[in-house]
Each structure stands twice: as C-alpha cells, then as structure tokens.
Structure 1
Amino acid sequence: MALNILKDKQIQEAKAEGNKYYLNDGAGLRLAIRPNGTKLWEFRFTINGKRKETTFNLYPIVSLKEARNKRDEYQQLINSGINPIEYFKQIREENILDENGMFLNLASEWLKKEESRTEASTHVNKVRAFEKDINPYLKNKHIKEIAIKDVVKILEIKLLQSHDVATKIFSYLDSLFRYAVYKGYCDRNILNDIKRGDIIPSKKYRHYSKITDIDNFKELVNSIYTYSGSHSVRGALKLVLHLPFRAENVCNLKWEYIDFDKKIITIPRNEMKIKDINLDDFKLPISKEVENILNDQYQISGYQEWVFLGSNNRSPINSESPNKALKIMGFNDEANGKKITLHGFRGTCRSLLDTLDTENKFSFEAKEKLLDHHNNSKVVRAYTNKSDYFEHIKPIVYFWSDFILSLQK
C-alpha cells in the first residue's frame, strides 16, 4: 500500500470545487477538500471487522507531518485491538474528570449547586467557611488525594476557635465527598470510615441561668416591678416575666407586631431563632397585665417603631441593658440560685409551669409551642407544624400571668 503520497505544496495548491473531493496520503489518511475551501483531515480504518472513520481537525491547524504522526499513533492502537476513537474519548473524559476533581473546582461546583437550595445568609457562611478554613489546606489537591489526616487537621484547627463551625465543616466536607462520588471524581467518601465524634467531641452546653425557687422568683418579680431605672428596661423585664420571648425578640419588639383589638403579639417567622418557612409566624396572646404593660410603654415610645427604646430614644434597647439592671437588682448570685439573664426567663417559666400546674394539666406540646420549640428535623417539622396551638397556649399565658401578679407584695 502506497504511503506518504502527499506533499505540502500539493495541499497548499488544492482549490475548492463544486463537490468535495479527496487527496489521499495512504494507510487510511486523506484530506477532504470541501466546497467552502476548508481542508479537513480524515482517517478511515477497520477494527473488529467494522469500518470506522474519524477526523484530525483542519489543515493547516494540523500539519501534514502531525496528521501522519496521528495516523501512526491510531494505527498502533488498532494493531493492539483498541478502537482509537473510544480510547481518546475516554482519555478526554478522564482529563475532564481530573480537572473538575481538583478541590477548588469541585468546591466551586458543589457550592453553586448548594446555593439554589439554601437561604442566602446560610450560603454566605458556607462560602466563607471554604474560603477561610478549608481551601487554604486543600486547594492544590485532587479530591482523590485528600486523606483523613487532611480533614482532621482542618477540624482540629477550627475546634480551637469554634465548635459549631467545626461541626458544620465536617458536614460540608461529607456532603461534598458524596457529591464527588456521584459525579465520578472519586471512588469513595473517606468520611464514611470515621464518625464525627471521633474528631469533634460533644459540645458542652452551658444553660442560661434561671431561677426555679419560688421565693427567689417572688423577690425577682417585686424587684422588677419596683425598678426605678430606665422605663423601657423595666417594661421589657415586666413583659418577659409574663411572656417568655427570647431576648432578641423582646428587645426588637415593634408596635406593628401588636394587635390590641385581637390581643395578639405576632413575631414574623424570619425574626425567630428557627426561620423555617414551613412554620407559621410566632403568636402569643396578650393577658390583661401584658396589655397594661404595653399601654404604659406606649405613652413613652408609641411614636417610634420599637416598643422598648434605648437611651437615644431612636433605636431598640440592647439586651445587655436589662441584664445589667438584673445585676444591679442583685440577681447575679448563682450560688444561692438567684442568678438570671434576660434569656433565662424562658427556662424559669418552663420549670415553674411544670412545678405549679397540678390542676390544669397543660399539654407538653402546648408548653413547647409557648417557647417556640420545634423538632430539629425539617422533615418532621414540615409534617407536624400544621396544628394550631394558639388556643392551647392562651390558658397557659393567663395562668402564668395571674401567678406572677399573685407574687406581688
């Protein structure tokens, strides 16, 4: 069979005609001269009894010498029983997988996917964790090269700063590895070989100080009602005595959340600790005493957006102001059970309700909803939050409010 028939000059002088024609170089290599003037290298071969054809790009992008080298490379594969078309396709795909599997590329791809399924603020924190705490240690590695020791190093460093963020980083990397396996960038999730607790110890929670002794609580009630400091601070403390709001919710309470006609306070869900869109806005009933507290405060701040104003009378009070007032009143004595903070009123309310409620038998679910406590699982919440406990909460609030008033001297 004739081989290497063509000359560069012959190719350069070849002109387009009305129909496509070919200049053969031998051994399956030919140059197609197309009517539009382009010249395309084609290679034809037979493997396993089947005729195949592929192309080597245009001339002069691929020179005559390069086309012949490529033909020879393909022929060597054919002689070994390998289909060169499938072989080089696999090489290209593997190269793409290798490139996409580099950690920075993979992290970018995964974060982009995550963005569509998480809240904006959550996604910002997730990106920040990668940029500050993960990427600096893994940026030059392929996902296949990452070992358990690499992950452990990242987590141990972060544990020194924040237990919560370290826990989230473990979850992020676990999810990222599972995604990488699914996409074919690696064969296994190395985090399946360990438990999170092997690296990250259980967090020791320090509960908010609360008062559970009724005599101490009586002293607290009377101290708050006779407090002679800031009117807004006294009002906020009186309100949280009767309604167990979280500190940030009572401090940032707005007049627009209060419906005096229906006797309801409604906090938008996006301002609550749990912001799950499947949950309704948080509502608590207004007892007679709560109405008195709010009407009294309205004389001071009714012209403003917020119910409890700070010292500048333009912005809401800071949670530290009520906490400072509690210390001034003497409620910083943990040894004698007389320490409490603004957030601790919730624990006091929950504990004393369990102690005092011998007749009404308020349900566990209603007492949990009073505090806006929910199951940690979003799936469970999606199926269980539809029950409206507002009517069940009413008698609890009225009972609790009456009890507080009964403690006044």
Structure 2
Amino acid sequence: MSLAEAREKRNELKKQIINKEYAKESGADTFKAIFKEWIKTKSKISDKQLFWINRRFETLLLPKFENIRIKDISRKDIINALSVLLVDEKQETAKKVLGALNSFYKFALLHEYVEHNIIADIDKNTLIGKQNVRHYAYFKDEKELKNLITAIKGYFGDNRVRVCALFMLYTAVRGENARFATWDEIDFKNSVWKIPANKMKNGKSHEVFLSESVKNMLLKYKQNLPLQSELVFPSVKSNIRPISDNTVRSMLRNLGFNNDMITPHGFRATFSTIAHERLDEHKQSSDVIELCLAHVEKNKVKDAYNHAKNLKQRAVLMQWWSDLLDGLS
C-alpha cells in the first residue's frame, strides 16, 4: 500500500469512528431510533402486516426498550418482555413477535448497531413449548343458533358491535376481515363484498355474496353511524381503527355466552357444520362451502378448477344461509 493510500484509508476509518461516536451521543443507536429506521424498509409488505408489526412493537417492546441502547439489551430482557404473552397462552403471537424481532436484529447487525443477533440464540420451541390445538366453540343446532341471534339483535350496547357480530354470522368470514372491511369494498349494486388479497389469510382476493337482508342491514346501519369513516366498523374511540375482536367477544360474554359455548370465530364453524349437514336442502357441494369459507385447496389440480370461484353457486348457498338465519330470528 502506498503512503497516499494509507492516509486515505486512515481518514476513512477516522470518519467511521467519528460517525459511531456521534451516533452514541445523539441516541441513534437506541432501540426506538433503530426501529424507526427498520420499519421504513418494510414498505413492500401489506398494510395489515405493517399495522400488526407496529402494534406489537408499540404495545410490547417500545415501552420497555425505546431509550435503551440496543447493545445493552440482553436475551433475558427479550424473554422477559415476551413472558406476558406466554402467561396469557398467546404462543402464536409470541412466535410472530420473535419473527419480527429476528428481522429487526438482522437489520441492526447489517448496519453494525450490534455485533450479534441475539434473537437467533433464542430457541422458539424451548421458549414457547408445544402448542395445544384448541378448537373454537360453536353452536351446532337451530335452537342454540336462534338464541344467539335473538340475543345479539336485542343487545343494548354500541350498534357497531351488534351489527358487526351479525355481519360476521351472516357472511361466515373471519372476524379480522369483517372488522377491517371498508365501504369501498362493498358493491351494493351487484350484492358483492370484494376483499382484496392483502387482507386475506391465504393471500388471494375473495368475493362474498350479500343477501338482501345483509344489504338492508348495512344500509340502515350506515345511515345511523355517528362518525364518518372509511371503515365499516370503526372503533368506538377512533374512526381510523376498527373495533377489536375482544369487543365482539365481550358483547357475547355480556349476553351470557362464555368461551366454552361460542366465540366470534366459531360463527364460521356453525355455518360449515349446518351447511354440510343440509346438503340436500341447498343443493350445493362441500367444495362450494369451502370456497365460501375461503379455505385453501391443498390439491393443486382441484384448485386450478376452482379458479372460476363458482360465484353463482356460492351466491345460492349464502342466500340459503341468510334465509335460514332470518327465519330463526
């Protein structure tokens, strides 16, 4: 190396040292500062994923670590932060938080904020343990279903929660899709609710037929909304956030239905069970029922044939389901 090259290299290294010292003094290497840099790199993920990453960091991690230098955070600190999820048996959420943290620390390692990714040393299986498969409680017969509908329609709480619960029951969609629904997705003229792919669990767009009963319920509900919002079911506290899953659960608890009897997700199981038991009534196949539930077809050849989506058959089935629920109530 020539003397000129050595001097140039020396000056380059001096700049790096100065920049690192400045970063320490300015707090640029704190957990919060690095999080702000990292989250900017996540612009290509879906809005739903971005929302939940922000949500988990803001509620679980930033309150504990925001002003701490990332190098001073240990594996034990991370495990202690996740312990609240494990106590509540939220193993799946804990796994997702660990996955996000792993990506976050990889970013920190790449930009030399840390010398090692401590998340890579945390064994998920050892920390979280084996998850027990828990099936959602649901109703299986008309008498139970009738009591449920009557109770929800007679609910004296916030109308957003009442209508959201009925909307979930009539459409048999996942609670998350119902709660995050926006008015621009609903085509009243053609009686279709078009859910974009980035909001679906399987990553594929989904169409839901809306019966006259459901359309009338939504139109009446929209006229009486106290606040204007893009969301069909905005939160009671904010019109830019949807009502939470716990809000619907709490309503069911207040109406006397505990977790062992019925859950919001159990509405889908109720639809599936009754629809499968009465194939001779609605004349639609099991495949059509699964398409209404937006279940992924594991058989790739069969999935290719289902690409047509069988919208007419699904409309017939959902109208039959709507008529059944109307008759019970």
Shorter-chain TM band: 0.5 to 0.7
1:134 to 65, 68, 91: 65
Indicate conservation of the 8 Å contact 1:111/1:127, yes or no. Answer: no
Secondary structure of 1:283's counterpart equals strand
Equivalent residue for 1:35? none
Task: Encode CA deviations 1:358-377: one digit per residue, 9 max, x unaligned.
Answer: 7956244x4344234569xx
- Is 1:200 matched up with 2:128? yes
Secondary structure of 1:306's aligned partner: helix
User: Which SS does the other structure have where 1:284 is aligned?
Assistant: strand
Cα 1:347/1:98, change in 2 over 3 Å: farther
User: Which aligned pairs between 1:329-408 and structure 2 lie closer than 5 A?
Assistant: 332=257, 339-340=261-262, 344-357=266-279, 362-364=285-287, 366-373=288-295, 388-401=309-322
1:33-64 Cα offsets, whole Å, 9 max, x none, are xxxxxxxxxxxxxx7xxx6348xxxxxxxxxx
Conserved? CA contact 1:326–1:341, under 8 Å: no
Gaps of 5+ in 2: 237-242, 298-303
Instruction: State the alpha-carbon separation in 2 of the partners of residues 393 and 384 from structure 1.
Output: 15
Residue identity matched to 1:133: K
2:271 match: secondary structure: helix
Bigger helix share: 2
Q: Given the superposition, is the C-alpha separation of residues 234 and 349 from structure 1 closer, same or farther in structure 2, using an over 3 Å criterion?
A: same
Partner of 2:239: none
**TM-score calculated relative to the size of structure 2:** 0.59
Q: Distance in 2 between matches of 1:247 and 1:192?
A: 33
After superposition, the Cα gap between the structure-2 partners of 1:126 and 1:229, relative to the gap in structure 1 and judged at 3 Å, is closer
Q: How does 1:6-405 map to 2 (within 5 A)?
A: 52-53=3-4, 83=6, 85-87=8-10, 89-90=12-13, 92-93=15-16, 96=19, 102-104=29-31, 106-114=34-42, 117=45, 119=47, 121-122=51-52, 124-125=54-55, 128=58, 129-136=60-67, 139-142=68-71, 147-156=74-83, 159=86, 163=90, 166-186=94-114, 188-201=116-129, 208-213=136-141, 216-217=144-145, 242-245=170-173, 249=178, 257=186, 259=188, 262=190, 264-266=191-193, 269=196, 274=200, 279-280=204-205, 282-286=206-210, 290-291=211-212, 294=215, 302=220, 306=222, 332=257, 339-340=261-262, 344-357=266-279, 362-364=285-287, 366-373=288-295, 388-401=309-322
Counterpart amino acid of residue 283 in structure 1: E
Task: Let me know the Cα RMSD of the aligned residues.
Answer: 5.5
Q: Which amino acid aligns with 1:390?
A: L
Larger radius of gyration: 1
- 1:193-225 CA deviation, whole Å, 9 max, x = no partner? 33223223466676553211355446767x579
Q: Is the Cα contact below 8 Å between 1:103 and 1:141 reproduced in 2?
A: yes
For residues 121-174 of structure 1, the C-alpha deviation after alignment (integer angstroms, 9 at most, x for no partner) is 4564366255313335xx2353xx654334323333565579466444422321
Give the whole-Å Cα distance in 2 for the aligned partners of 1:135 and 1:218: 50
Distance 2:166 2:174 in 1: 14
Long gaps (5+) in structure 1: 1-46, 55-82, 376-382
Matched AA of 2:80: K
Q: Secondary structure at the match of 2:137?
A: coil
C-alpha change, 1:355 and 1:141, in structure 2 (3 Å) is same
What is residue 43 of structure 1 aligned with on the other side? none
**Structure number with higher relative contact order (C-alpha < 8 Å, ≥ 6 residues apart):** 2
Q: Which amino acid aligns with 1:259?
A: F
Alpha-carbon distance, 1:350 to partner: 1.4
Question: 2:12 is aligned with what amino acid?
Answer: K
Match of 1:74 in 2: none
Structure with greater proportional strand content: 1
CA distance in 1, matches of 2:265, 2:305: 26
